[in-house]
Amino acid sequence: MGDTRFIDAAERRARLGVRHRLAGGARAGSAAEVGGALVALHATDPASVFLAVAARSAKGVEPVAAVERALYEDGSLVRMHGMRHTVFVFPSSLATAVQASTTEAAAVRERTTLLKHLAAGSAFDGDWLAETERLVLAELGARGEATGAELGEAVPRLRSTYVYGPGTRQEGVQSVASRVLRVLGMEGRIVRGRPQGSWTSSRFRWATAEARPVQDPAEARAELLGRWLGACGPATEADLTWWTGWKVTDVRKALAAVGAVRVTVAEGAAFVLPEDLGPVPEPEPWAALLPALDPTAMGWRGRDWYLDPEYRAALYDRSGNVGPTVWWNGRIVGGWAQRPDGSLARRLLADVGAEAERAIGAEEERLAGWLGDVRVTPRFRTPLERELSGS
């Protein structure tokens, strides 16, 4: 696969604006469209999913209703563990591929770790865990759905605790419930349903899951990587291994399976799908206010083509989680936050000009109107977000 052509940063930003549904003419008419375009929406912070859809929705789309309909009614989107042990929202059509390519192996490690911790910090063993899981599944089968607290009342075993890391500096008491439900969720035996409370809540109800078809892991990796390259290509090998969490050898096999073509970007060799070699026209100028953990800001390991390295310390936390960002024509140019009184504050870190200022101001007004009385605090706080919010 010899180098075919150079794709510069400007073209990458043009692709981003259109394919990530951020340019005005590319805005989506449903949450399912956004999920399909982005492949995976970060869902560690539940509010981020709704805010990510809101930023990409066409006029007249109600993001909360659209997301809730897709997640809890028509099932076009599903919340599940995926890459890097992180909770995402995926198109339901990709759930089997995500499970087979990524989540299944992580679930095996999670179960092994839990059994090891139980053996070291309690009197519980594998038989005890298996019986606890049986009781949880039976209770969910009878109820239809339940919160973790409700399951703890019905299955007292879930209220048990164990000592994590006995005799070490990390020693502490942990709940059995959270770990058991996590394992069952990662194995695809239960799913997160509608939360208890508003759309910003992380207190989800759980329900039993329908069995997913079995897929060959290599085929699943090719399917997932192909979808992601279509949304985010060109991508370097470093981008792909970081985003998927797979071994380099698995990434390379998946690239070969989809017939990926080597191109060149500023960082060096990168890949696109074979049908994606043509030039991409520049979209109309666009602005966006994206939420913390937005998949566009978190999509690549190499980010210099859309993020000035000088802005990283202000916009990302020490673990690499991005806070709320302001965008202009495919670049991150600032950050924003919500104050305790509900008003929005933003700061531009670059001189973007009057046209951009007006467009960004219009997006800020749109977001403020959509949020109304809702208060959103990112789960992972970043320096600029804390400063702007006054907390």
Residues 235, 352: one domain? yes
d(CA 391, CA 385): 9
Q: Which two tokens stand for residue 229?
A: 């390259």
Residues 194, 263: one domain? no
Q: Which pLDDT score, from 0 to 100, does residue 358 have?
A: 98
Domain of residue 190 covers 104-208
Q: Which two tokens stand for residue 341?
A: 């009184």
Q: Which pLDDT score, from 0 to 100, does residue 322 have?
A: 98
**What is the CB-side half-sphere exposure of residue 63 using CA atoms within 13 A?**
25
Given the structure tokens 């400007």, which residue do they identify?
10
pLDDT in tens, 85-122: 899 999 999 999 999 999 999 999 999 999 999 998 88
CATH of the domain at 150: 1.10.10
Residues 279, 372: one domain? yes
Kindly report the number of other CB atoms within 10 A of residue 172's CB atom. Answer: 11
pTM: 0.94
Nearest CA to 100 out of 196, 6, 213 is that of 213
Alpha helices in the chain (DSSP H): 9-19, 31-38, 46-56, 63-72, 95-98, 104-121, 126-143, 148-154, 176-186, 217-232, 237-244, 248-257, 312-315, 354-371, 383-389
Diameter of the chain by CA atoms? 67
Residues 222, 239: one domain? yes
Given the structure tokens 């929705």, which residue do they identify?
57
**Could you give the C-alpha distances from 127 to 106, 123, 132, 133, 188, in angstroms and in order?**
21, 11, 9, 10, 20
Residues 38, 108: one domain? no
Boundary (domain end) residue, out of 141, 174, 208? 208
Residues 342, 371: one domain? yes
Beta bridge partners of 162: 174
Let me know the angle formed at the C-alpha of 312 by 327 and 357, rounded to the nearest 5 degrees.
25
Domain count within the chain = 2
Residues 299, 155: one domain? no
User: Which residues in the chain show pLDDT less than 50?
Assistant: 1-2
Task: Annotate 50-70 with b (16+ C-beta within 10 A) or e (fewer).
Answer: bbbbbbbbeeebebbebbbbb
Alpha helices in 279-382 (DSSP H): 312-315, 354-371
Q: Which pLDDT score, from 0 to 100, does residue 123 have?
A: 87
Q: Are 146 and 194 in contact (CB under 8 A)?
A: no
Q: Are 384 and 323 in contact (CB under 8 A)?
A: yes
pLDDT in tens, 323-379: 999 999 999 999 999 999 999 999 999 999 999 999 999 999 999 999 999 999 999
Boundary (domain end) residue, out of 148, 181, 208? 208
Boundary (domain end) residue, out of 176, 191, 208? 208
Q: Which pLDDT score, from 0 to 100, does residue 1 have?
A: 44
